[in-house]
Chains A and B, each alone.
Chain A
Amino acid sequence: MNELAVPLNHLLFLSGLLFSIGMLGVMIRRNIIFILMSIEVMLNACALAFVGAGAHWGQPDGQVMYVMILSIAAAEVAVGLGLVLQIQRRFKTLDMDQANRMRG
């Protein structure tokens, strides 16, 4: 381990910044497609923190958690995009403020 290696806290800075950009995306967008994309960014930022911490300790556990996050993201996107198609068909819009009633 030499002093020219990447510091762990810079990697965690990047992860935190990406997570906040994703969270801002969830808050400022009203289109559900963009909200799903922002959730992907947030999941990816978490995965970056896990892999970085795993690399810091030299253990494979971080990458194991990365595989878990990947499967969660895949399942979430499959169901989410199915819901997007249903919302578009039922409400004729992707605006989430229009789809705020339980019995559409």
Chain B
Amino acid sequence: MLETTIFYISAAVALAATILAMTRTNAIHALIYLIVSLLAIAVIFFVVGAPFAAALEVVIYAGAIMVLFVFVIMMLNLGEEGDARERKWLEPSIWIGPATLSVVLLIELIFLIGSVEGQVSQGVVSAKMVGISLFGPYVLAVELASMLLLAGMVGAFHLGRRLLEKRA
């Protein structure tokens, strides 16, 4: 019973924080709402019995990735005029068409998901089980992830290096 209540409260927090993050004009404010949303999802992971995923959500998503965003926004130095420009760009006339059509698709999706039966089990899938699976049948996926991260690192280094050379 307690878990169910916590799930619904954090689901409401996640939805509200995400909507607020998407509609802010100030990038840092949006980022802070996004961090709240990620923390709420970490609570949901914990409640449904995935403590390893919850820890990764806090450490990597809300920690590392969001700090990267904060650094870049600080480097860009957007300021007050960026705020006003964002407000001008958020006119309803531009996005009302695609938004309506995608809401129709969302309603269809919810209608289809509504027929899914079953519950999220109360058992905990521990980090040990995840590790055994990760380095057993999924070892090729780990290799692919390492290659992807290497490619991402090389790409980010390449893009950032040219920026630094031109400035020097």
Contacts and interface: CB of A to CB of B under 8 A. Distances in A.
Interface of A: 1-14, 16-18, 20-25, 27-31, 33-34, 36-38, 40-41, 44, 47-48, 51-52, 54-64, 66-68, 70-79, 81-86, 88-89, 94-95
Contacts of B117: 8-9
Contacts of B130: 60, 63-64, 67
Contact of B122 (A2, A30, A66): A2
Interface string B128-144: 01101110001001000
B67 to A, nearest CB: 11
Contacts of B145: 67-68, 71-72
27 contacts: A4-B1, A5-B121, A6-B4, A6-B48, A9-B116, A9-B118, A14-B44, A17-B106, A20-B105, A24-B95, A28-B90, A29-B89, A33-B72, A38-B22, A40-B34, A44-B41, A51-B45, A51-B53, A55-B120, A58-B123, A62-B50, A68-B145, A74-B60, A82-B158, A85-B76, A89-B163, A94-B82
A35 B80 CA distance: 20
Contacts of B78: 94
Nearest to A5: B119
B113 A16 contact: yes
Contacts, number: 239
B132 A60 contact: yes
Contacts of A3: 119
A65 to B, nearest CB: 9
B168 interface: no
Nearest to B155: A79
Contacts of B49: 55
Q: Interface size for chain B: under 10, 10 to 19, 20 to 34, or 35 or more residues?
A: 35 or more
Given A28-B99, A31-B89, A81 B134 contact: no
Contacts of A72: 145, 148
B84 interface: no
A60 to B, nearest CB: 4
B74 to A, nearest CB: 12
